[in-house]
């Protein structure tokens, strides 16, 4: 039999059968393989790129999305090496700037202090974030997550119209929580304390446990 061989592909009953030669079928299969290879190659390259990013010493902030709101951190102390100032300016602010725009409301530092007393990273973080509190508008604060750091009764009071998105109190106590501080903390949506001991102490004083978050102080491991 010298007639060319052909393959008949079955189709649904409502269509007429058609003949496809072996050569045509092989061409179609080769085309499909090329298309699959073209689709898989970009995926493999993307996976390789992600592996390289994780394996290199690139800052991890490259892979972190920025928050869609500002963080306004208020520390009502002067520019010195007080515990509150060091914790925020030398700890939390540099760490948070990779995640969001941070606005620091605290005492103004002169350039001599920044250049001679802080590290280059800490001074740069202060310069990027510091704002004079009186220049900050109520509308800007209302669009921010606000942290009130220190004495709970020095927290600002906000009207319902200008209330921030969320109010966090950063507070601590060396003993029992006073009745005045307990009352002032009611203005906060969330309360950050440095240890589990503080959580137990604040809870025993009457703070709802749903508001309490253990947020240890920043430690520089470098």
Q: pLDDT at position 34, please?
A: 66
Q: pLDDT at position 130, please?
A: 94
My answer on whether 131 and 181 are in the same domain is: yes
Residues (pLDDT < 70) of the chain are 1-20, 22, 25, 29, 32-65, 219-222
pTM: 0.69
Bridge partners of 105, per DSSP, are 74
My answer on whether 95 and 147 are in the same domain is: yes
Structure-token match 């903390």, residue found: 185
Q: Which range of residues forms the domain containing residue 53?
A: 6-58
Bridge partners of 18, per DSSP, are 9
Answer for the pair 97, 128: CB distance below 8 angstroms, yes or no. yes
Q: Give the CATH number for residue 189.
A: 3.40.50.2000
């Amino acid at each position: 039999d010298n007639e060319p061989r052909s393959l008949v592909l079955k189709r649904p009953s409502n269509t007429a059968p058609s003949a496809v030669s072996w050569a045509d079928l092989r061409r179609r299969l080769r085309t499909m393989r090329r298309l699959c290879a073209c689709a898989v190659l970009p995926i493999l390259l993307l996976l390789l790129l992600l592996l390289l990013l994780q394996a290199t010493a690139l800052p991890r902030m490259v892979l972190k999305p920025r928050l869609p709101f500002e963080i306004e951190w208020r520390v009502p102390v002067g520019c010195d090496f007080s515990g509150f100032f060091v914790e925020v300016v030398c700890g939390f602010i540099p760490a948070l700037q990779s995640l969001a725009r941070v606005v620091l409301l605290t005492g103004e530092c002169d350039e001599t202090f920044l250049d001679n007393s802080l590290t280059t990273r800490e001074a740069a973080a202060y310069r990027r974030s510091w704002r004079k509190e009186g220049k900050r508008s109520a509308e800007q604060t209302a669009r921010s997550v606000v942290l009130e750091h220190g004495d709970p009764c020095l927290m600002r009071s906000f009207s319902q119209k200008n209330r921030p998105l969320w109010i966090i109190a950063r507070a601590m106590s060396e003993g029992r929580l006073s009745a005045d501080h307990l009352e002032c903390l009611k203005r906060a949506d969330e309360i950050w304390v440095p240890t589990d001991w503080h959580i137990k102490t604040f809870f025993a004083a009457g703070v709802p446990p749903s508001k309490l978050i253990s947020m240890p102080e920043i430690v520089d491991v470098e």
